[in-house]
């Protein structure tokens, strides 16, 4: 997921709250997390880590720090975030080579480090969450603000992120600026406990579905194969027509098509629906391309 918005909009705060709505680690997940942290020297005395990892490397991090490496081939941040959240703040400020090094771990769920005389693989199933300003000055698109460099400021800044990496990110949302009046007015907010309960219920549905199919190693929709997601997320006729139309107008790649199906299947699970409907596909598509671009294509 990428959150794009001006400074102070709450992007980092939202990312830091994400682990609080995720379900507790299962015994197998707990063991995997603890083993990786032990190899990295972050656990002592035989302790086990019972919290989902939240890693937030600085944008000056090297490729070895991000995906792993060094003389003894230690796990990098993407593996230390296994079964948890990898948060990249100020995404365009990372070196392009470092960002592109994440493409393979995101796709396969493992970080592979190859040296002349050995090959090491660490698990790296993470929820990648990134935050960025819309442009270098940070205020592009705000009412009443006019950037001295115009659209070029926004285009150049966002262009630091490669297309292949963006193609692997399922959700892209805009986070609007928060004004003082927004903070003064009393607002209604859903407690994190309620959201966590809904997430846990959806994950239980997914786990039961894959166990019934004899896939005990698959825990979530994000990790199932393309052929399987086509089967379990087959939309109704209205949804299929919408997906076909969006694919034609927005030029979805095969990867984007299957990732939209995975998000739509997850949205249906959150609603407790057995079938993926048009409303789930519409939300999944809008999350991927942004509401503004979707409206332009309609």
pLDDT (tens digit, 9 = 90+) per residue, 93-147? 999 999 999 999 999 999 998 887 788 999 999 999 999 998 887 766 666 667 7
pLDDT > 70 in the chain, percent: 93
Residue with token string 């994190």: 192
Q: How confident is the model at residue 203 (pLDDT cuts 50, 70, 90)?
A: very high
Residue 297 has pLDDT above 70, yes or no: no
- pLDDT-derived band at 186, boundaries 50, 70, 90: low
β-pair partners for 131: 3
CB contact at 8 A, 235 and 264: yes
Same domain, 7 and 147: yes
CATH code where residue 136 lies: 3.40.50.300
Domain of 44, in residue numbers: 2-182
Q: Do 108 and 173 sit in the same domain of this protein?
A: yes
Task: Choose the final residue of a domain: 120, 154, 182.
Answer: 182
Domain boundary among 182, 202, 233: 182
Q: Give the end of a domain, one of 128, 158, 182.
A: 182
Residue 146 lies in a domain: yes
Q: Are residues 61 and 162 in the same domain?
A: yes
170 and 291 belong to one structural domain: no
pLDDT at 298: 37
Residues 27 and 159 in one domain: yes
pLDDT of residue 216: 77
DSSP 276: B
The verdict on 118 and 258 lying in the same domain is: no
Same-domain status, 25 and 124: yes
The total of structural domains in the chain comes to 2
Closest to 223 measured CA to CA, from 202, 235, 239, 207: 207
In this structure, the answer to whether residues 133 and 243 fall within a common structural domain is no
Could you tell me if residue 187 is inside a domain?
Answer: no
Clarify whether residues 129 and 227 are in a common domain. Answer: no
Q: Is 94 helix (H, G, I), strand (E, B) or coil?
A: coil
User: 287 and 150 in one domain?
Assistant: no
pTM of the entire predicted model: 0.88
- Same-domain status, 112 and 143: yes
Q: 151: part of which helix (H) or strand (E)?
A: helix 151-158
Are 17 and 161 members of one domain? Answer: yes
- Residue 199 CA to residue 209 CA, distance in Å, equals 15
């Amino acid at each position: 997921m990428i959150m794009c918005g001006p400074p102070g909009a709450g992007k980092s705060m939202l990312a830091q709250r994400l682990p609080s709505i995720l379900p507790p680690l299962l015994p197998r997940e707990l063991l995997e997390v603890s083993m990786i942290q032990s190899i990295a020297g972050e656990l002592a005395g035989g302790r086990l880590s019972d919290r989902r990892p939240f890693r937030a490397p600085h944008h000056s991090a090297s490729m070895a720090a991000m995906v792993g490496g060094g003389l003894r081939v230690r796990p990098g941040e993407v593996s230390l975030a296994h079964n948890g959240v990898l948060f990249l703040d100020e995404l365009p400020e990372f070196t392009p080579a470092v960002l592109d090094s994440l493409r393979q771990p995101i796709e396969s769920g493992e970080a592979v480090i190859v040296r002349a005389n050995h090959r090491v693989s660490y698990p790296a199933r993470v929820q990648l969450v990134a935050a960025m300003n819309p442009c270098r000055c940070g205020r592009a698109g705000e009412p009443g603000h006019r950037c001295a460099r115009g659209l070029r400021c926004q285009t150049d800044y966002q262009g630091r992120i490669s297309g292949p990496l963006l193609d692997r990110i399922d959700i892209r949302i805009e986070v609007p600026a928060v004004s003082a009046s927004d903070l003064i007015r009393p607002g209604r907010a859903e407690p994190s406990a309620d959201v966590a309960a809904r997430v846990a219920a959806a994950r239980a549905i997914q786990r039961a579905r894959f166990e019934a199919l004899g896939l005990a190693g698959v825990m979530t929709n994000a990790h199932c194969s393309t052929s399987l997601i086509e089967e379990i997320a087959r939309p109704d006729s209205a949804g299929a027509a919408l997906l076909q139309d969006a694919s034609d107008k927005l030029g979805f790649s095969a990867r984007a098509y299957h990732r939209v199906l995975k998000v739509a299947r997850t949205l249906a699970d959150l609603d407790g629906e057995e079938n993926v409907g048009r409303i789930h596909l519409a939300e999944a598509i809008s999350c991927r391309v942004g509401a503004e671009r979707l409206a332009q294509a309609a």
